[in-house]
Amino acid sequence: MATIDFTTTQRERLTDLGVPAETVAAALGALEADDAGARNEKYRALELAAVRENRDGLSRLAEDDRVTPSLNTIAALADWLRGEGYTRVETPIIIPFTMLDKMTITEDEPLRDQVFRVDKNKCLRPMLAPGLYVLMRELHRILGRPVRIFEAGSCFRRETEGSKHLTEFTMLNMVEFAGVEDGGQRAKLEGLAAGAMAAVGIDDYTLETEASVVYGETIDIVSKDGLELASASYGPHSLDPNWGVFETWVGIGFGIERVTLAKCGGENIKRYSKSVNYLGGMSLRV
Ligand code: ATP
Ligand code: MG
């Protein structure tokens, strides 16, 4: 049976406005083949409705919520973590390459190609772990007791940008150092994953064990749609001696925009990213 499709420009516009793929498919399915006039009329109706929805969403954001869904995800996790005894910290976004070497992301490692160089010795951090390794070690040395800290901030990776990857994204990384009994790391992580998902309001997720270049093994939190929301790992770990660290630890790194996408729905992570084209899940091209 002959079918009709929207033009590329029409399709791109509907995608930008966040019209779900199934809505587009249903609209096309109801059309006669070869009737471009009816197709264009359908397009205009879909576009008009979507523009209205995006505008209404922006108006709700400015008048009621006053915080974007991504910032809300950070706030929900931060509130929960403060309640669990974690202190919020910030470490530099520009870091020396020597810190990546200590993460075994060395010159010959493919991950190194994803790193943005700032100058001969420095780069934009692709992860928060280097800074947190130092802070947890130093705080433990000074305070002489278990350390619970977390950081939320931008990380940068030269990814082949798809609908699930951003060049600049926000990681929230939490770590408990010297507080878990050896052997109890995995159970501890399962509890923390449950706490985090409850805090952000996601009740459907699975834990999957993955091989990781940097960590050997990671436990991923995966959404019901198969999206990796976070990666957890634990020590004692082979990287630890590079950082002068010898105690147990557990840590989880959440991708804030991915968690927000899983919670709020939608097909492209860009809508929830730091952007001047989208705000709070809405397109500004309306
Ligand atoms: P993936 O395999 O999906 O590329 P990853 O395993 O390389 O992710 P991690 O290093 O485990 O990513 O980073 C921790 C979390 O940060 C991920 O679980 C994901 O939620 C998020 N994340 C990683 N890379 C990106 C990216 N380029 N854009 C958005 N979020 C990201
Ligand atoms: Mg991962």
What is the token pair recorded at 58?
């922006």
What percent of the chain is modeled with pLDDT above 90? Answer: 90
Residues of the chain with CATH 3.30.930.10: 69-278
State the pLDDT at residue 189. Answer: 97
Residue 2 pLDDT > 80: no
* C-alpha pair distances (Å), 248 with each of 51, 54, 148, 174, 253: 52, 47, 12, 14, 17
Lowest mean pLDDT among 23-32, 173-182, 215-224, 247-256: 215-224
From 166, 220, 228, 257, the mutation candidate for ligand 1 (largest count of ligand atoms within 8 A of CB) is: 228
Q: Return the ligand number nearest the Cα of 73.
A: 1
pLDDT in tens, 95-151: 999 999 999 998 888 889 999 999 999 999 999 999 999 999 999 999 999 999 999
Query: In the block, which residue shows the tokens 């995608």?
Result: 15
Q: Which CATH class, in words, describes the domain spanning 69-278?
A: alpha beta
Q: 247: buried, middle or exposed (CB in 10 Å: 19+, 13-18, 0-12)?
A: middle
Distances (CA, A) of 259 to 2, 186, 230, 285: 40, 21, 8, 24
Mutational test site, ligand 1, from 200, 258, 263, 271, max ligand atoms within 8 Å of CB: 258
Q: How far is ligand 2, taken at its centre, from the CA of residue 143, in Å?
A: 31
Residue 185: the pLDDT is 94
Neighbours of ion ligand 2 (CB under 5 A): 231
**Exposure string for 161-190, b = 16+ CB within 10 A, e = fewer:** eeebebeebbbbbbbbbbbbeeeebeebbe
Does the structure show a pLDDT above 70 at 90?
A: yes
- Burial class from Cβ neighbours inside 10 Å (0-12, 13-18, 19+) for residue 77 reads buried
Task: Identify the residue whose C-alpha is closest to ligand 1 atom 22.
Answer: 255
